[in-house]
Structure formats: C-alpha cells, structure tokens
Structure 1
Amino acid sequence: MGRTLRVVFPVSVVLAGLCLAGIVHAAEPPAPKLIRTVEGITEYELANGLKVLLFPDPSKPTVTVNLTVFVGSRHEGYGEAGMAHLLEHMVFKGTPTHGNIPKLLTGRGANFNGTTSFDRTNYFETMPASDDNLEFGIHLEADRLVNSFVKGEDLKSEMTVVRNEFERGENSPPRILLQRMLSLAFDWHNYGKMTIGNRADIERVPIDRLQKFYKWHYQPDNAMLVIAGQFDPKKALDSIRKHFGAIPRPERQLDQTYTEEPAQDGERVVTLRRTGDVAIVGTLYHIPSGAHPDFAPVDVLEGVLTAAPTGRLYKALVETRKASSGSGGAFNLHDPGVLFLTADVLNGIESQQVLEVIHDEIEKVRNQGVTQEETDRSKQALLKQIEINAADSTKIAIDLSNWAGQGDWRLYFLYRDQVEKVTPDDVKRVADSYLRRDNGTVGIFQPVKQSDRISIPETPNLTELIGEYKGRQVVAQGESFDVAPDKIEARIVRPKLPGNIQAALLPKATRGNAVVIRLTLRYGNESNLKGLAAVCDFLPDMMARGTKSLSRVELQDRLDKARGEFNADGNPGEATFTIKAKRESLPEILDLLRQVLREPVFPQEELETLRQEATAVVEKQLNDPQALAFRTIRRTLGPYPAEDPRYTATLAEEVQRYKSVTRADLVKLYEEFVGAQGELAITGDFDVEQTVAALNKTFADWKPAQPFGELHRTADVKLSRRVETIPTPEKANAVYAAGTVFPMRDNDPDYAPLVISDFILGGGTLSSRLGDRVRQKEGLSYGIRSNVNASPIDPRAAFSIMAISNPLNMEKVKTAIDEELTRFLKDGVTADELDLAKRGYLQMQEVMRTDDSGLAQILTTNLRAGRTMQYYVDLEKRIKAVTPADAARAFRKYVDPERLVIIQAGDFTKKPAAKPAEKKPGGDK
C-alpha cells in the first residue's frame, strides 16, 4: 500500500497545563453522534468536534487507544522546523493529573509510543484488555490533549534528547541523502523538510512559542480518537463522553495550509559527501496526493520497478551486478508528494552508470508500458499487505490515522479499491505523466535545453470522491483468546511427527483467519561445523530461492497469490523459517514449505545475488558505531577460535567469508547435515488433522548423515573491567555498550529476582532508574536501557547496557551509568518501585503472548528446552513472590561492575562549539 513518509520516534509524551487550567463540568456532555459504519469501523462525532472511531476485535485480548492530532511538520512556520515532533516528546512529560506518564503506562504493561509525520501526530498505547485499562487510556489521552505541562525546564532536557535523535539520523547516509533530495525537490512546501526538523530550531525554540503551538493545535476539533481491540463499545463511548466530551470546543478557527508547490522546471542534482563504504544513487519525482486516483497506479508502478526479484530495476541492476540492492516508495500525503527510487552501488561500478540504467528502465516503461503479469504481481503484493494489516487491529488503527491525516480515514478503503482496478495502461500513463527528467531530482552519495514542466493535480474534492462510501464485508472476527499460560497449555496439541521434529500446535480462531508457522531445523555440532559459519548463514535463504519445480520468482508469485509471507534466517547449526498464511491457503503454503525444505536447488545466480546483498549489508556497517560496539561486545563475551561455529567474526572477516561461499559448500551442507531435527510451532486458524498429514509428508524419511549436537555456550570467560574506544570519524551519534556474563539458566531460582531488578534499573528508556537519570533528568540520550538474557539450555546469562548520545556527552553518560549502578548495588530497590515493576513486567509478558508470531517463538523455545507453558506459570509465581531483599541480593550476586566490559564508539575528536557572544541592547533585530 502507500508508504507514508513518516519518521517514527519511540517517544513518550506529556505536555504542560496551558490551554485549559480546568475543565468545567457544568452539565453532562451530549452523547457522541453516530456518523457511519464502514467494514466494522464505526465513526462518531462529539459536540466539540472530536472524531471517534470504534473498531472492536475480540480475537486479541488487548485494547489500543490511539489519539491522532492533525498537526505535523506541514503546519510548522518559520523557525518552527521540528516543532510538531518536539511537542510529541513534550506531551509525555506529564499533566497535573498524570504526573509521570511513562511510569503509569509501564505499570500497566503497555506498549506505547508517539509518532510524528508530515500531516499528523499520534499517540497510542496497547494494553491488556480490561475496563480499567480502557478507562485509563481514554482519560490519559483526553487529559494530555489539553492539560500537558509544556514547561521550560522539561524543554531544556527534552531538547537535547531530540537533538540526540537528530544526531542518530545524521549517521545514516541513505536518510540524509533522502533529506537532501526532498529539500531540493520542494522550493516552498514544508514536505521539503524532514519531520525531525533542523538543529538550530530544535535548540533555540522559545517555550512560549511551543506553548502557543500546543494550545492552538491540540484541541478536540483537530483530533481523532481510535479505540481498537477487545472492549465494550458502550463503555468506551461512556468514557469518551465523560473525559473528551467535557472539553469545550475552542473559539479559534484553524487555518488550512495553502502553499502549493509550483511545477518543477528542470532536473535537479544533489551530491552528498560523507564517510561511508557503499555508494548510493537515487531519483525522486513529484506525484499526486494520496487521495488522488493516480496515486494507486503510481504505487503499483513503484512495485513493478523495485520489487525483488521481479522488478525492472532489480533485474537491470542487481542481477547484472551493478547494484547490491534497490528500493523505493511512494509517499501518500495530504498534498502532492513524491516517488523515490534508490540503489546501493557495487564497488567498482560508477554511480553514473547505475543512474543511466535507472533512467533507461523508466523510459522503457514510459514508452513501452508494462505487462499484465507485472501489474498483477505488484497489485498482489500491495493487496496482501493491506489484508495482513487489516487482520491486526493495532496496525489498522495506525493506518487509519495516516489516511485521516490526508483528509478522511475512509481513504484507506478507497485506496484498496483503486489498487484492485489498476491496469497496465494506468501504470504506463502515470509513468509517462510524472516520471520525466524535468520533474525529477537526482541524489548521489559520493541541462535539458527546454524544461518540460509537469503540473501535479490538486487534491480532489473528498466529498465528491468518497460520497456515501459503504465499504465491504467485515473481516472475519477471531475468538476472545485467554493468554494466561495455563489456558494456553490446555489448548496445545503435540503430535508425533517423523524423525526428531518436536511440534506444538495451537489452533484458535483469529482475525482474518490468520495462521503463523515457525520451524527451526537443527543440525551439526561443534566439531563437524568448523569453518562452515558463513555457509550456515546462507543456507536457509538459499533454500528459499528456488526448488526443483519453482524458480524464486514463481515461488514468490505463489506466495503472494496465497496471501502468504515466508522468511528464512540462518545461524551456525540452525535454519529458521517463519511463515504467515490464511486458513484457506494453508495447504498450498505447506506444500511450498515442503518444496523449500526437501527440493532446494541452490541456483548459482541466486547465490551471487545473495552474496552481494549480504556483503553490502556488512560493508555499510564498517564505520557504524552501533554495529562496531555491539560486535565487539559479542566477541569479548564469547571468545572462541576462528574456525569454531560459535566464533563472532569481525566485519572485515565476515565480508571475506561471504565472498568465499560456493554452491558446492551449500549443497554439501544441505545433503549431509540437514534433516528432520528441530522444533515446529503453529498458532492460529487451521485444521489440525489436515496440517499434521501435510507435515508427515514433509518430514518423512529425512535423516541427516552427520550427527547433531547442541552448540553449547559457556559463561566461563575471564573478564575484568575495561573501557575501549572505537573511532568512527564524522559520525554525529555515539554508542555506549557494556556487558558481562555469568552462569545461570532461565529456570534458576535467582532468575526472577534478577530480571525484576534489571527491569527497575533499565527496562525502559522512559521509565527506569537509568532512563529517569540519563534521558528524563539530564537529557543526554534518546535511548538507554539494560537487559538480562538467560539461556534455556546452557548455564549462561548476560547483563548488558546500551545508550546513544552526542559524542561530546559520552563521558557524562558513562559517569551517570556508573553512579546509578553504584547506587543500585548499595541501596537496592524500594517496595513501591518493586510492586510497580512486577505489575508492569507481567503485563508486558501478557501483551507479548497476544502476538501469534511471538507466541510461536515461545512454543519453539519450550520444545527445545523440553518444557511446557507450566514454566511461565511458575515464573509468574516466582516474580510475584520477589521481595526487595531478593531483588537486591540477586543483582549484587551476578552483576559485578568490575567484570563489566565497556565499549564506546563514535567520533570523539570534536570539541564543544564556542558559545556565541551575547548581543548588546540595540543590536540586530
């Protein structure tokens, strides 16, 4: 579907009490007015102008509360670049009623976030379904809509956090290249400015300017509330009426943005020169708004050009070894947006040569058009993604907010209908209309005689366009599923499958009849896998790139038509396949899985493609602070010989290993090592008897020649505190990573108190000891957290801390972490924070079990460890029983600062900028 250009910023948000010091409850607010129902989504409107969408979905025991405010970077004025996003951060800073929003949300196990785009800002939280959580979410969003603090002292700390987020983006050449291309493509419209804003505006925005922006835009007549998931609609409406209905309609009248970008009068070119290892080229074209009927064929055109492995550009660039990969996107926006295409240039190839290929392929489409097969394939991929999102009430709530930001939430359904109607002639027409050189901007990371001005159509009249749109049949509803571990265990079926395949099947009715399969095949051992790590990495992906009966393209086409998704991932000794399907197409999907597992042919041309894709990914990380820091930590905590399959290679070593993999290596590894050994989990809507029959056929008579043995990992590593610095020149963002290991399995009696201790210390950037100090109080980092990870197989656990910051602030970050660790070890935890942590942790685990993909992973882990869901029943009991003394004892026992390895990666050569001289009265105005 349309790729909304949005920058997602994992932020909590709370503002300052400005616009309405108190809400007057003189009389009961009028009841919400029913407006319409489309495909199971019902729209209401309050007297104060608030739009409300209710989307009940009993299949998942969670409730999502999503508030969208129709303000984004499009609405910012001079000196306000990034203000909408900065305000998104500030709205998590609290209200008089909800003082510490991140802490309140964490205590309810909420998955929460805030995001800002060109056209809208939204805030959402997904919590375990309950009347209390529903009431809390609605009350919170109504409160912070008009009563957020937005205080000067909060701005001072949060400004540096946002600036750190800005700096993180500065580390990404593809992101910066796109930013440069947008700014060059748009002369006047705010779509030429990235949502993150510009550094000077972020640093200098006056608090009164931010408060005015908040009071003006954050009002009920400029907002939409979406409630999705398992809830009682009547109770939701009563709560909305109580909390939102009491907010008066503002007297001010919102102005509509009116800037119109003139037709471009010639190709524009921008060159970005920064440190890096992989050249990138891109082209960008002006296109109509998301609401315009031409947007759907433009989106189909993008798929025809970039989809792997069938896209025109993929074949012309990747298969010919000119580029390692390509991508693109059509931005569905309120006003006319852009279509962009990019490619990562292979070493030894000139960027201009790749650009010429891109332009040539576009001209072929403009002049010769596209085939019916290409059009259908791209449409299938778009419609599949729409259908997948429609089956997830949380995702559809976000999608609705994106389309609502373009003028009307029903555009979501209209776009789907328009995609289905796209013809090859439509694709050729929009390519000829918009993908002209004079309408384009070229970007490179390392004149026509007469311009051909292209006028972009205005956004259509939505009333005429949509009319009385009714929508289609409501998506099939799932059951009300109890995610308590014992309830899950009671429903699991464990059939006996051929060989050593252990299986756990969990049939249940799901929204959209969705089903998830997770299969991990295990093979080899410490001895017979020596020197084969890179081959193991490639094996699963190569198995899925062609079978005896199907090419990679044919396999992908079959998956798209069946609305299936297939992902393969490899590590030494294991090959994991994750599949998403529908009940009605599951038999076909299982047959495709059988062919991938039993009939792979390992095409040489696909090996070359995978090799260049994989090496390009690694080469991009050669100067990346995060990749270097994390890899160094892994190498230090797991020191194995270079030939050992458990060895962590350096980035340079990994590139050489990938270059040395041969087809013969893959064939030998598959034929001698792989067989019916591993774990399989299926969750969702499926017929158990039919599925087991298909699985028996898949795994029958499949025995490996080489013996299997677990690749055990030890915690017996000699460690002492050390700080290592890795220089990454010209990277604006730095990374702190620290870690240690110790003997412990996840069934150890000390595991529960240690996990809760860690949750209090650094379980969340926005609400934890580390988060409160480093981000909330001192504003040094956009992201900081700690983690405890214990193996279910080996007595080996790891404790880690990570943070990002401006390189100039890294020493302050390290000092703050050291001080908080010392305080934690000395003082332990309080009873209040322990109680809050236990509730929050358990509810977060509950939310995780509502996701079928996550649940399938839990089931395969249990199978590997030889346990059932009773493990989680017992773990929850142990968590609830943890005392402050238990938590302090466990943390002191296992977390030793003197065994902590600390890695700092970044550009630490720069000095703080000199402060500007103060201007005297009478100076420049």
Structure 2
Amino acid sequence: MPRPQAASSGALRQGRTSSAASVPAVRRTRLPGGLRVVTEHIPSVHSASVGVWVNVGSRDEGRSVAGAAHFLEHLLFKATPTRTAVQIAQAVDAVGGELNAFTSREHTCYYAHVLDSDLELAVDLVADVVLNGRCEPDDVEVERDVVLEEIAMRDDDPEDTLGDVFLSAMFGDHPVGRPVVGSVASIAGMTRSQLHSFHVRRYTPDRMVVAVAGNIEHDEVVRLVRRHFGRHLVRGRSPVAPRKGAGRVAGRPTLELVKRDAEQTHLSLGVRTPGRHWEHRWALSVLNTALGGGLSSRLFQQIRETRGLAYSVYSTVDTFADTGALSIYAGCQPERFDEVVRVTTDILADVARDGITADECRIAKGSLRGGLVLGLEDSGSRMNRIGRSELNFGEHRTIADTLSKIDEVTIDEVNAVARQLLTRPFGAAVLGSVRSKRSLPKPLQQIAG
C-alpha cells in the first residue's frame, strides 16, 4: 500500500551497545505457533525497521483469485478493530515514520521504519494490520479500484509491462510466470469472501517471520512481539520450511509480442536458470554483473558506449525457490532494433563459447562486494536481508561470509556456468510497433519456432 514517507521528527535517544562483545549481531527466537523473530542490532543508527514477512505470494494463488495476495496487502491497511485507515496513517505520520508493504511472487512483507524510540509503536501497527485487518466490503470496493488503477499504471510503463510478459514467456503456466497484480478480470471478479478466506488460511504464525533491525535489543523485540501477537501464539505448530518449489518447469521458453505504438521498441531476452538454492548462484551473480550489471559490462559498453544504439541496457537475475531467469533488457528506436538484437545475441554467443576475461571477472567481483556492503548501510536494508534469509534459507550468513563466497568464485566456475546456461533455449518478449513475429530479427524468429 504505497504511502509517502514523512520527514523525521522527534528526539533521538542515545545509541546503545550490546552488553557483551560475544553477542551476535543477528539473533533468532522461535515463539509458540512457529512464529520466528530475527533481529540485527546496529548501534550506530537512531532508527528501527520492523517487518512482518509472510511466506505467501502470487505463486500461491489459484487462477480464479490471481492477484489476491497483492489485493489483500492493500486491503489490510484500511481498517482494524481498533483503528481506521486515517488513524493508522496519523499514528505513523505523528512520529515521522514510514508504513508500507510489498508483494512478490513468493512472499509478502509489511514494514515500518521509525525512530528507535518508537519501536513499540511500529511493532503494534504492523502486527495490528497483518493480524487484524478487517476486509470490510466497502473497503474491498475502494481498493479494487485502486488495484485496477495500479494495473493500468503498469500497462502504461513499457518496462513494467515487458517484465511481466517476459516471465510469462519464460515460465508459461508455471505459477511464477503470472503477474503479481493479477489481471483486470480476476481483480474485477474477486469477492470479499475470497479475500477474507485467503487472509485467514494463509496468514498463520508458522508462515511468518518478524524481522527487526536497528538500534534495538533482541530481548525487547521478543517481548513486544509476544505482547502484540498475543492470542495468535498457540502451541503445536512448527515453522513452515523454506520453500523448495514444484520442481522443473515444463516446456520451452517462448516469444511473446506486445504490439503498441511507441517511440521505442523494448526487448527482454533470457534463459532459465536453477533456483536460489543452486550451488553456483554466486558464479551466476558474477556472470550477470560482467554481462550487463555495470558501466563496464559488455552489453553496456558495446550497445551504448561504442555504438550508441540504446540509452538503457542491462542484465538481471530473477531467482525463485525452484527456477530463475537470467535476462537482458534494452530499449531503442525501432530502426535500431535489429542491430541491438544482433549485437546482444552475438555477445551472448561469444560468452557462451569463450567465457569472460580475468579482468571482467575481477571487476564484477569487486562490483558485487562493494554493492553488497554499500547497500546495507541502513536499517531497512538490513531488515530486508534477515527477513528474506529466514524465509528463503532458514539460516543467516554474515556479511563477511557472503563476501567470502564472492571471493571464492573462480573464472573457471563463471565460464562453466556461462557455457551451461547460455546454450539453453532462449525466451523473449518484445513491446513496440512491430507488425508480427515474422518481421522480427532472425534470432527472435528462431525462438518463436
């Protein structure tokens, strides 16, 4: 539920330090009902980020309720038994905080970012919304219109539209191939009863993780969680194990074409990868960075810097429990599209055959190390890291351990991953004023079959 972030206000309390140097920064407690509490103490900040992570996303929906997880995420902020939507907004605005949520294909997160002195309020608000959101019929109709507007906004953004179409081309009927927001038809037809049932059945403590990072103490967080989760902490359940997925994706990737009058033609091209539990995932990250993850990457240098064919070109990796995708995006003027496709596919063929160079590997590893550390300089990013780690892996690797994993990647491993993945069948999505699949460049016609 998007909300503007307010300016900070109020007094800061003095930073606290751990009572013993031996106390780990990340701590974990399991409460009755299978609820897990994970915290990271960061004494150098004056903030706290609180997230309730639910192991439910769009891949858990049936087709008749496509978009339910995202719809529900909006709806729960509208009212609880003790607060109206206005009161929820006023409570967080009064302390200069942020209250928000997001839904992905495999989980949903409700979070608050506040001053450390307002930790209890943050736990109270997030727990109240997640556990007690009422799904009132009138609110369902209001948020239905909001979600439909969000779908329309997605459709107006070529990159957002292409992202959903590309995953559909890559994964077909597999649940991760469906848009998180659902469709106009599924949202228009969804009932209050369906949303309420989704909430009651899916939002159980054994599927939840409370992640808190900042200038906080673990024992205090556990005490607050016990208080505000109260009657939901019923014994007899164990935490749901990290998601493993449904196995291999059936069929081959395809080509999807979205015809639209536009100033640019947009391309996403990629291959399937193993999921996030793959032993070579760090080498895949290095390969992705060398291909299109930075200013010195091959795609950026060849397509933008050397030839000036496109303003935006990059590669990315999407990983899920059981599968993933390595993809390249480029947007260019229609008359340059054929050359962009040719240069892109030539680069991928070169890397599949000859691999990347030692310098490219060194630069990519340095980029990953720096990006990891710089990206974890605030409590919100730390909260995201420990929440995802608990849900996805059931364990927590230190930053030093992660940096070590990157350092251990060898050029031979990266190039073996390149040979394995970049010789797989490609999938693609194209958006723009293209007449038909037969008018596309030959490499894309080969995907279409």
Aligned twin of 1:428: 415
* Distance (whole Å) between structure 1 residues aligned to residue 244 and residue 222 of structure 2: 32
Q: Is residue 85 of structure 1 aligned with residue 70 of structure 2?
A: yes
Note the alpha carbon deviations across 1:188-239, whole angstroms, 9 max, x for none. 3211012111111111111111111101111211111112112343332222
Q: 1:56 aligns with which of 41, 48, 54?
A: 41
Q: 2:190 aligns with which of 175, 189, 205?
A: 205
* Distance (whole Å) between structure 2 residues aligned to residue 220 and residue 389 of structure 1: 29
* Distance (whole Å) between structure 2 residues aligned to residue 416 and residue 121 of structure 1: 27
- The Cα of 1:285 is off from its aligned counterpart by 1.3
Aligned twin of 2:100: 113
In percent, how many aligned pairs have the same letter? 25
* Distance (whole Å) between structure 2 residues aligned to residue 364 and residue 403 of structure 1: 35
Matched to 1:329, the amino acid is T
Rg: which structure is higher? 1
Specify whether residues 39 and 191 from structure 1 end up closer, same or farther in structure 2 by C-alpha distance, changes over 3 A only. Answer: farther
Aligned twin of 2:335: 348
Matched to 1:121, the amino acid is T
Specify whether residues 444 and 96 from structure 1 end up closer, same or farther in structure 2 by C-alpha distance, changes over 3 A only. Answer: closer
Higher relative contact order (CA 8 A, sep 6+): 2
Aligned twin of 1:122: 109
* Distance (whole Å) between structure 2 residues aligned to residue 417 and residue 206 of structure 1: 49
Matched to 1:10, the amino acid is P
Q: 2:345 aligns with which of 353, 356, 359?
A: 359
SS in 2 for 1:93: coil
Note the alpha carbon deviations across 1:875-917, whole angstroms, 9 max, x for none. xxxxxxxxxxxxxxxxxxxxxxxxxxxxxxxxxxxxxxxxxxx
Aligned twin of 1:144: 129
**Where in structure 2 are the equivalents of 1:211-250 lying within 5 Å?**
211-249=196-234
Aligned twin of 2:269: 283
**Where in structure 2 are the equivalents of 1:287-436 lying within 5 Å?**
287-318=273-304, 319-346=306-333, 348-349=335-336, 351-408=337-394, 410=396, 416-436=403-423
Specify whether residues 134 and 341 from structure 1 end up closer, same or farther in structure 2 by C-alpha distance, changes over 3 A only. Answer: same
Q: 1:75 aligns with which of 44, 60, 75?
A: 60
* Distance (whole Å) between structure 1 residues aligned to residue 218 and residue 293 of structure 2: 41
* Distance (whole Å) between structure 2 residues aligned to residue 285 and residue 112 of structure 1: 36
* Distance (whole Å) between structure 1 residues aligned to residue 402 and residue 140 of structure 2: 39
Aligned twin of 1:10: 2
* Distance (whole Å) between structure 2 residues aligned to residue 305 and residue 247 of structure 1: 48
Q: CA RMSD in A?
A: 2.7
Aligned twin of 1:468: none
- The Cα of 1:287 is off from its aligned counterpart by 0.8
**Where in structure 2 are the equivalents of 1:332-731 lying within 5 Å?**
332-346=319-333, 348-349=335-336, 351-408=337-394, 410=396, 416-436=403-423, 438-446=425-433
Conservation of the 8 A alpha-carbon contact between 1:278 and 1:347: yes
* Distance (whole Å) between structure 2 residues aligned to residue 437 and residue 443 of structure 1: 19
SS in 2 for 1:48: helix
Specify whether residues 129 and 339 from structure 1 end up closer, same or farther in structure 2 by C-alpha distance, changes over 3 A only. Answer: same
Aligned twin of 1:159: 144
* Distance (whole Å) between structure 1 residues aligned to residue 158 and residue 232 of structure 2: 45
Note the alpha carbon deviations across 1:356-382, whole angstroms, 9 max, x for none. 211111111111111111011111111
Aligned twin of 2:82: 97
Note the alpha carbon deviations across 1:407-461, whole angstroms, 9 max, x for none. 335268565443222111111111111122524335353399xx99xxxxxxxxx
- The Cα of 1:252 is off from its aligned counterpart by 8.5
Specify whether residues 366 and 92 from structure 1 end up closer, same or farther in structure 2 by C-alpha distance, changes over 3 A only. Answer: same
* Distance (whole Å) between structure 1 residues aligned to residue 354 and residue 307 of structure 2: 22
* Distance (whole Å) between structure 2 residues aligned to residue 425 and residue 160 of structure 1: 52
* Distance (whole Å) between structure 2 residues aligned to residue 396 and residue 189 of structure 1: 31
* Distance (whole Å) between structure 2 residues aligned to residue 332 and residue 99 of structure 1: 37
- The Cα of 1:39 is off from its aligned counterpart by 5.4
Conservation of the 8 A alpha-carbon contact between 1:264 and 1:438: no
* Distance (whole Å) between structure 2 residues aligned to residue 252 and residue 41 of structure 1: 24
Q: Is residue 170 of structure 1 aligned with residue 155 of structure 2?
A: yes
* Distance (whole Å) between structure 1 residues aligned to residue 211 and residue 193 of structure 2: 30
* Distance (whole Å) between structure 1 residues aligned to residue 235 and residue 59 of structure 2: 22
Specify whether residues 298 and 445 from structure 1 end up closer, same or farther in structure 2 by C-alpha distance, changes over 3 A only. Answer: farther
* Distance (whole Å) between structure 1 residues aligned to residue 343 and residue 71 of structure 2: 41
Structure with the higher fraction of residues in helix conformation: 2
Conservation of the 8 A alpha-carbon contact between 2:280 and 2:417: yes
Note the alpha carbon deviations across 1:486-510, whole angstroms, 9 max, x for none. xxxxxxxxxxxxxxxxxxxxxxxxx
Aligned twin of 2:26: 41
Conservation of the 8 A alpha-carbon contact between 1:284 and 1:442: no
SS in 2 for 1:166: helix
- TM-score for both structures, normalised by structure 2: 0.85
- TM-score for both structures, normalised by structure 1: 0.42
**Where in structure 2 are the equivalents of 1:233-272 lying within 5 Å?**
233-249=218-234, 258-262=245-249, 264-265=251-252, 268-272=254-258
* Distance (whole Å) between structure 2 residues aligned to residue 304 and residue 359 of structure 1: 15
